[in-house]
Structure 1
Amino acid sequence: MLSPAASPFLRHIERCNNVTLPAGRLPLLHRNDRIGLIDPACLDWLTNPAMAGLVNVTNEAIILPEGQNLREISSLLVQQGHCVPFREWFDVRSPEGDIIGQIDRALIPIFGVEASGVHMNGLVKKESGLHLWVARRSPHKRLDPGKLDHLVAGGMSSGLTPDETLAKEAEEEAAIPATLIQQAHHASTLHYAMTRPEGLRRDRLYCYDLVLPDSFVPRANDGEVESFRLTPIDEVFERVRDSDDFKFNVNLVLTDLFLRLGMFDKQDALVLADILHAKG
């Protein structure tokens, strides 16, 4: 049982785990492995004659004969106007982690395949206490415009490892040099499954911590961030507790950070950690 002081954090975990799979979706199978979950409303797209030979549709499942077909399927669905492409390819993996093929990022929630991303807590130790760099997302972002975000966060594009993704996003989003980002360490991995307006999100988040020098000031390079603010960690804690100002999954990574920093009492920490790391 969580205390009233900690229970508000539970809503963020529950929000990111708001679906019980398969949730009426049909499995997308490759060599008998389930690699995705597809909304039955999309079956007409996949039974279109243009898809002949690329995917097989039955009453029980959608079968992908060859992983390389995912690229052509993505391109056809974009051409047919079924989605607005990101023009960014993400790897689709087997349950064992082997790369099967690539899919346009826009189709990830439609096909319900697992996607990976990185989130980094940019921390600064000051005499007045620990601070965290908080970004505000551009109002022009397709997803969650204007929400508060991490200093560095982004999806893991095809061919990149988590560390490589972190270095790429750090340079693009906050102008963090390679020599500095190499000091970041992987602190945790979180999973969740949730339904959103864009579809089913099954995400794996690689969470990093980096202690930055007090002299460092981030600079947005790619237009995805409107501004940065160095914020006392206690203020961040209160904002996560009392509001939904942060992008939905950022709340999970921050709650995980608060746990590592010992910001909950012992019993609340045990309960929250168990729930947070058991989901997905």
Structure 2
Amino acid sequence: MSDKYPPPALKPFLQHIAACNSAVLPGGRSPFSCAAEQIGWVSPATAQMLETLGLQQGPGFGVKAGSELFPLSRTLCEMGLYASHDEAFDVRSDSGLVLGQVDRGAIPVLGLAAEGVHLNGLVERAEGLFLWVARRSMSKRLDPGKLDHLVAGGMSAGLDPQTTVIKEAQEEAGIPAELAATARYVSRIEYALERPEGLRRDVLHCYDLLLPEEFVPVAEDGEVESFHLLPIDEVMALVRDTDAFKFNVNLVLIDLFIRRGLFEPAEATLLRNALKGQAA
């Protein structure tokens, strides 16, 4: 099997992966740095704004210290580059060191890497594996009405993936902390794509949580319109045949399908390598 000529049955899955890895870097963008370490990429429009603020540094732009990041993000909001999320996210170096914080909405504007969690809410029944699927509220700022994971969310400042899973599980689906704490870390997925909100360079920490058959999720924070328990084969068909799921959910589900043996070994290898950005 060649990755150049994949089987037709795999093409829809590969297209979802390619769609999330469509950004060409730098692609006309300028580097954005903090304390001389590059942490992002800015579009010409953002670069123009940074230039008016006197933040040009050599061939790119930046701030001298991490403490300047959050005030800068607020200034960019006031200049109309984005609408504030009123939520601070950590900005990390390549080594994982927290350099400072920004308003969440500024992350794609500055082309910063962002981290989040996605949780597969699984139910094992006699007739097979089922997955809890959420439908996003129509009031959501991004991707309203799309299908989503039972639990998914960005990693707010000061939190780690495990803490975020427990927090989001309670807020989004009413999952008790004791149950959410049993979620198993299964994979890490990275991608970069251009979106209406800017450059998305995301890191997803993926978890599996086995839920009791009697568990029924409850939308605690109003971000979910409804929940649906679907057979895994039906979920796989939705990913294969539609764009019903929020763009990045497809990648986490493809990873789940691979781990659950829903692809032939050679197909799984091709898809696994595509998720990692490697040639088969």
TM-score interval (norm. to shorter): over 0.9
Q: Partner of 1:198 in structure 2? A: 197
Once the 2 structures are TM-superposed, how far is the Cα of residue 45 of structure 1 from its aligned partner? 1.8
Overall identity of the aligned pairs, in %: 53
Once the 2 structures are TM-superposed, how far is the Cα of residue 3 of structure 1 from its aligned partner? 1.8
* Residue 241 of structure 2 is aligned to residue 247 of structure 1: no
CA distance in structure 2 between the partners assigned to 1:123 and 1:165 by the alignment = 19
Q: Partner of 1:119 in structure 2? A: 118
Is 1:6–1:264's contact at 8 Å kept on the other side of the alignment?
Answer: no
Could you give the per-residue CA deviations for residues 123-162 of structure 1, whole angstroms, max 9, x where no partner exists? 0001111000000000000000000000000000000000
Query: Normalising by structure 1, what TM-score?
Result: 0.95
Could you give the per-residue CA deviations for residues 256-276 of structure 1, whole angstroms, max 9, x where no partner exists? 000000100111111111111
* Residue 13 of structure 2 is aligned to residue 13 of structure 1: no
Query: Residue type of the partner of 1:270?
Result: T
CA distance in structure 2 between the partners assigned to 1:163 and 1:227 by the alignment = 25
Is 2:135–2:146's contact at 8 Å kept on the other side of the alignment?
Answer: yes
Query: Normalising by structure 2, what TM-score?
Result: 0.95
Q: Partner of 2:232 in structure 1? A: 233
Query: Residue type of the partner of 1:251?
Result: N
SS state at 1:71 partner:
helix
* Residue 69 of structure 2 is aligned to residue 65 of structure 1: no
Query: Alignment length, in residue pairs?
Result: 274
Q: Counterparts of 1:169-184 in structure 2 under 5 Å? A: 169-184=168-183
Unaligned runs of 5+ in 2: none
Could you give the per-residue CA deviations for residues 71-91 of structure 1, whole angstroms, max 9, x where no partner exists? 111122222333210010101
Q: Counterparts of 1:1-280 in structure 2 under 5 Å? A: 1=2, 2-48=6-52, 51-52=53-54, 56-58=55-57, 60-278=59-277
CA distance in structure 2 between the partners assigned to 1:78 and 1:26 by the alignment = 20
CA distance in structure 1 between the partners assigned to 2:194 and 2:76 by the alignment = 21
Query: Residue type of the partner of 2:8?
Result: P
Query: Residue type of the partner of 1:4?
Result: P
SS state at 2:95 partner:
coil
Is 2:77–2:106's contact at 8 Å kept on the other side of the alignment?
Answer: no
Is 1:91–1:101's contact at 8 Å kept on the other side of the alignment?
Answer: yes
Structure 1 stretch 25-34 or stretch 13-22: which is displaced more? 25-34
Once the 2 structures are TM-superposed, how far is the Cα of residue 58 of structure 1 from its aligned partner? 4.1
Query: Residue type of the partner of 1:36?
Result: G
Unaligned runs of 5+ in 1: none
SS state at 1:133 partner:
strand
Once the 2 structures are TM-superposed, how far is the Cα of residue 59 of structure 1 from its aligned partner? 5.6
Is 1:125–1:211's contact at 8 Å kept on the other side of the alignment?
Answer: yes
Could you give the per-residue CA deviations for residues 176-234 of structure 1, whole angstroms, max 9, x where no partner exists? 00110011010000000000111100000000001100010000000000000000000
CA distance in structure 2 between the partners assigned to 1:85 and 1:236 by the alignment = 34
Once the 2 structures are TM-superposed, how far is the Cα of residue 46 of structure 1 from its aligned partner? 1.7
